[in-house]
Amino acid sequence: MTMQGLGQRIGFWIGAAAFIALAFAMALVIRNEYVFFAGFVILQFIVLATAWNILGGYAGYVNFGTSAFFGVGVYTAVFLLKAVDAPLWIQILVAAIVGAALGLGVGLLTLRLRGIFFSIATVAITIIAETLITNWKFVGGATGVQLLRPPVTPPFDSYIKMLFVIAAVMVVIAVALARHVQNSGIGRGLRAIRDDEIAAECSGVPTLNLKLVACALSGALMCAAGAPSAMYLQFADPVSAFNLNYSVSALAMSLIGGTSHWIGPVLGAILLATTQQLLTVTISSEVNVLVLGVMLVLFVVVAPEGIIGLVRRVWRLVRRGTP
Amino acid sequence: MFSWELLVDAIVLGAMVGCFYAAVSIGLSISFGLLDVPNVAHPALLVLAAYGAWLLGDFDIDPIVAGLLLMPVFFVLGVLLYRTYHETFEKRGSEAGVRGLAFFFGMAFIIEVGIIMAFGVDQRTVQAFYIGKSIEILDVRIPMRMVVAFAMALLLSLALTFYLSKTFLGRAIRAVAQDEGALRLMGADPVAIKQWAFGIATAVVALAGALLIIVQPVEPTLDRAYIGRTFCVVVMAGLGSMSGTLLAGVILGVAETIVLTMFGASWAPAISFTLLLVVLGVRPQGLFGR
């Protein structure tokens, strides 16, 4: 490893530690619960967008099934709660394992399906999973299920603050994994797959293994992001757990931020999720989906490289302007 | 409880529903099957057309007439949509896949939310003299609305099959699907032909949307159920095969009706998607694959 690489790595982990410390400090100091209520959702979307980008951005497989993974995560938590009254960290951990398994299944689909066929297949998985849950009485069926939060443990004085800090930790884990994938041989292989899968296969890139790794990682993170959502809402029903809005959000945030670097989905998620939170409160939830759709279409048409691409372009102009 | 009578009922009704599914899928069969455009906005356009027919219903216009009136409007819409897609994605070449898909996915969401904001989330229905009555065929009671949709669907598929195989432009569309480069070498402009074909495909959606609101009440998010149905039919048919579309529609219709009568409505949404996954896994080229 070069000195510069080492410096970047140290810088990243200092930033990550500062981020968690900040979240923790906020939970201890700020009294207004709404900050955490909105903040949790924003952090959750950072995880979802980052997870989506591992497969969609690096490998170029467009996953419309973020909501399938999210919903399965929610219902893994619901099942564990109802069956064995499992604590939150077990719910998240098991959800990640289930998500990785489901991701492997989706990864096997990529053996035969590419492009739009893969995308439609992921929509199919979403609807099939939703239908199965709808018909499963134990976890509440179509009407949904009410959940009770366990008492909160110190140093937190409210459950929502604890969820906020947990989400912050998940963001760091997700981003660290994405960063590792991007900078390692896995990322190079995935990019080769995106540019030309057959050529990559012919040059000895283990395409199937790489795709399976990407799918499993992405799936595990998405499911894990869904798990605390059950406790957050204290309620779960199939229609909202498997809502396609999660799919379009994760995809839009990645593409708007820029898919070539891990910072892209993070920026996109912060920008869009914050706007969404403001719009939902001030105008309506329909308007925020509309804004999301319009932004997505605008960006893919006008700025295909996303915010990262725009910044790079401006940067190049500035450097050329000052000789 | 299993009974032969119920099964026969389900098959007869399913076959009619199936022809209707073929009619709503046939536009996609052209735009996606023949032209290779990842048009995931197709079901959203379908619902949009149904709302158009509902709006025109306020002026006492029969839904089918409304569908016909909407066709030129949708033709222009389709041409514009394809133009945008071509200029921004097809021309740029590489990476068109991801962004082209995202483009149509985003368009679908814009249409869906646009409808919610304009007309609310309530279910909408239309009035016509044939809606609400039923007739008996082979001892099976069949709602008149299904018969009308069935007849229109058959007519539409036959007309399109004829158009694509017998007319000059229709053959040109098929030629563009087979080998774009060869067409260019012959001195023809493949983009102009694809634009025309996409316009036709979208115009057909206008009529199909009118059939949709005849068959069932529509709501803004109905397009999600039809993602599965339309793509299932088109993929099962084999991309771009018109006669296959009809057969695939009937297979889906019968499968849905049978599951509906045996297991209940809560399983219905998954059927088309399961069938789609099975086809993709076992025979991705479809029944009549080229």
Q: Please state the domain extents for chain B.
A: 23-220
Write out the residue range of the structural domain in which residue A104 sits: 19-247
The residue with tokens 């981003």 is A175
Q: Is A108 on the interface with B (CB under 8 A)?
A: no
Is residue A92 included in any domain, yes or no?
yes
Cross-chain residue pair A135–B267, CB shorter than 8 Å: yes
Return the pLDDT at A218.
95
Domain count, chain A: 1
Tell me whether the omega of the peptide bond preceding residue A155 falls within 30 degrees of 0, making it cis.
Answer: yes
Cross-chain residue pair B98–A56, CB shorter than 8 Å: yes
The pLDDT tens digits of the residues spanning B221-232 come to: 888 889 889 999
The residue of chain A with its CA nearest to that of B239 is A117
Distance of CA A238 to the CA centre of its chain: 19
Asked if pLDDT for residue A118 goes beyond 70, the answer is yes
Cross-chain residue pair A286–B113, CB shorter than 8 Å: yes
Cross-chain residue pair B101–A119, CB shorter than 8 Å: yes
Asked if pLDDT for residue A175 goes beyond 90, the answer is yes
Q: Are A140 and B241 in contact (CB under 8 A)?
A: no
Q: Quote the tokens at residue B69.
A: 């009136």
pLDDT tens for chain B, 290 residues long, are 567 777 888 888 888 899 999 999 999 999 988 888 889 999 999 999 999 999 998 888 888 899 999 999 999 999 999 999 988 887 776 556 778 888 898 899 899 989 998 988 888 888 877 777 777 776 777 788 888 888 888 898 889 888 988 999 888 888 888 888 888 888 888 889 999 999 999 999 999 999 999 988 999 988 888 988 999 999 998 877 788 888 999 999 999 988 888 888 888 888 999 999 888 888 877 777 65
- Of B95, B106, B277, which has the smallest distance from its Cβ to A121's Cβ? B277
Q: Quote the tokens at residue A47.
A: 């995880």
Question: CA-CA distance, B83 to B191, in Å (whole number)?
Answer: 9
Is residue A301 included in any domain, yes or no?
no
Asked if pLDDT for residue A103 goes beyond 90, the answer is yes
- Of B84, B105, B281, which has the smallest distance from its Cβ to A64's Cβ? B105
- Tell me the chain B residues in contact with residue A117 when contact means C-beta distances shorter than 8 Å: 235, 280, 284
Distance of CA B175 to the CA centre of its chain: 22
The residue of chain B with its CA nearest to that of A132 is B267
Pairs across A and B, CB distance < 8 A: 121
- Of B113, B116, B276, which has the smallest distance from its Cβ to A120's Cβ? B276
The pLDDT tens digits of the residues spanning A251-278 come to: 999 999 998 889 999 999 999 999 888 8
Q: Are A54 and A214 in contact (CB under 8 A)?
A: yes
Question: CA-CA distance, B220 to B229, in Å (whole number)?
Answer: 16
- Of A124, A300, A301, which has the smallest distance from its Cβ to B273's Cβ? A124
Q: Are B100 and B89 in contact (CB under 8 A)?
A: yes
Cross-chain residue pair B109–A120, CB shorter than 8 Å: no
Q: Are A139 and A82 in contact (CB under 8 A)?
A: yes
Q: Is A263 on the interface with B (CB under 8 A)?
A: no
**CA-based nearest distance B37→chain A, Å:** 9
What percent of chain A has pLDDT above 90?
A: 43
- Tell me the chain B residues in contact with residue A255 when contact means C-beta distances shorter than 8 Å: 98-99, 102
CA atoms within 13 A on the CB side of B18: 25
The residue of chain B with its CA nearest to that of A285 is B113
Which of the residues A52, A122, A126, A127 would you substitute to probe the B interface, choosing the one with the greatest number of B C-beta atoms within 10 Å? A127
> Which of A63-77, A306-320, B139-153 is least confident?
B139-153
ipTM above 0.90, yes or no: no
The residue of chain A with its CA nearest to that of B118 is A286
Cross-chain residue pair B280–A121, CB shorter than 8 Å: yes
The pLDDT tens digits of the residues spanning B102-130 come to: 889 889 989 998 999 898 888 888 887 77
Question: CA-CA distance, B274 to B283, in Å (whole number)?
Answer: 14
Q: What does chain B come to in residues?
A: 290
Which of the residues A237, A300, A302 would you substitute to probe the B interface, choosing the one with the greatest number of B C-beta atoms within 10 Å? A300
Q: Quote the tokens at residue A115.
A: 């492009």
Touching B: A residues 151-190, CB under 8 Å: none
Return the pLDDT at B1.
54
- Tell me the chain A residues in contact with residue B84 when contact means C-beta distances shorter than 8 Å: 301
Question: CA-CA distance, B97 to B94, in Å (whole number)?
Answer: 8
Cross-chain residue pair B106–A297, CB shorter than 8 Å: yes
The residue of chain B with its CA nearest to that of A243 is B224
Q: Is B107 on the interface with A (CB under 8 A)?
A: yes
- Of B88, B269, B284, which has the smallest distance from its Cβ to A127's Cβ? B269
Of A298, A248, A226, the C-alpha closest to B221 is: A248
H/E segment holding residue A301: helix A285-302
Residue B80 Cα distances to A220, B100, B110, B127, B189, angstroms: 40, 15, 16, 32, 17
Is residue A268 included in any domain, yes or no?
no
The residue of chain B with its CA nearest to that of A297 is B103
- Of B117, B269, B274, which has the smallest distance from its Cβ to A290's Cβ? B117
Of A294, A124, A166, A126, the C-alpha closest to B113 is: A294
The residue of chain A with its CA nearest to that of B278 is A121
**Residue A100: pLDDT band with limits 50, 70, 90:** very high
**CA-based nearest distance A285→chain B, Å:** 10
What percent of chain A has pLDDT above 70?
A: 98
Is residue A99 included in any domain, yes or no?
yes
Q: What does chain A come to in residues?
A: 323
Cross-chain residue pair B106–A135, CB shorter than 8 Å: no
Cross-chain residue pair A128–B106, CB shorter than 8 Å: no
Question: CA-CA distance, B14 to B26, in Å (whole number)?
Answer: 18
